[in-house]
Amino acid sequence: MGRAMPPNDFSRGYTSLRAWMRESQVHLWIFVLAVCFVVQTLAEVLGWAFGLDVENNLLRLFALHPLHAWQLGEVWTLVTYGFLHYGFMHLLLNALMLYFAGHMLKTFWLDAQVSRLFVLGMAAGGIAYVLASLWSPGWPPLVGASGGVLALLLAATRLSPSMPVYVFGILRLPLWGVSLLLLAVSVSGLQGPNAGGNFAHLGGALAGWALAKSPTWLFPEIRWISKRRKKNKGGHLQVVAADGLDLDTILDKIGRVGYDGLTAKEKAFLARYGKK
């Protein structure tokens, strides 16, 4: 009789990775950033081995350059710069921040909304960098996803400023305190060697703060989906109406008293809404 071969460690790991990416678009973005970094590193290593200037070519094609060296024909670099990183620690910090900020914002927003704000935050950060480079044309090319990460963090902060965050798993701080600290670091670095990167941080943060309470303004198809659900007798929104719960009302309450001030029923609603 035949006997099935037991799955090896590689197949189990692959299956686990696919399941992890399907859980959230935040996980998928982290995977994409990691893959891009691996490709970037391998290309640079091969370039060094064969005497090719791969690193500068990658920066020329995908990084974002100051305004005097940037052309509208390279508009894609307003986003592609976020998929390159200066070293593993740069990637790791952005990936960790993306994970935590993205999941905090998913408490209030749809998965697709979080994903799109991440991309918009990178674009907003890139625009801030390009405009600010009018006064400092000698900046190095911009890389890194920090603008998108700061957009998610500031959006979550505006919605729930008192949400507790445990720094290093020990120090308990309100979310507004963490955001204020990161913004202060960025502002203090506007005259330093990474001034362009700090302008990108602030540009992404501004986009997240501005859109925090109006996600459907950026994602009009969500309104259409909501109308379809209202017509569906078994739809989630009809149950919400029966329970007297409303998303906008809950978000306003979060802005006043923080996430911890919600009732168990309101927290359960946000958890269900975030899975849609």
CA distance 3 to 246: 55
Residue 235 reports pLDDT greater than 50? no
Distances (CA, A) of 229 to 89, 121, 149, 152, 271: 44, 29, 31, 27, 17
pTM: 0.78
Percentage of the chain exceeding pLDDT 90: 45
The whole-number pLDDT of residue 243 equals: 54
Q: What are the residue ranges spanned by the domains of the chain?
A: 20-215, 220-274
Mean pLDDT estimate for the chain: 82
CA of residue 115 relative to chain centroid, distance: 7
- Reduced DSSP (H G I as helix, E B as strand, rest coil) percent helix, strand, coil of the chain, to 5: 70, 5, 25
Query: Mean pLDDT, to the nearest integer, of 148-166?
Result: 91
Contact 26, 98 (CB under 8 A): yes
Residue 258 reports pLDDT greater than 80? no
In sequence order, what are the beta bridge partners of 173?
A: 165
What one-character DSSP code corresponds to residue 166?
Answer: E
More confident residue, 120 or 235: 120
pLDDT tens digits along 96-131? 999 999 999 988 888 888 999 999 999 999 999 999
CA distance 76 to 63: 9
More confident residue, 106 or 272: 106
pLDDT tens digits along 191-205? 888 999 999 999 999
Domain 20-215, CATH: 1.20.1540.10
| 28 membership: H or E segment, kind and range | helix 25-50
Please say whether the dihedral angle defined by the alpha carbons of residues 70, 76, 80 and 82, taken in this order, is positive or negative. Answer: positive
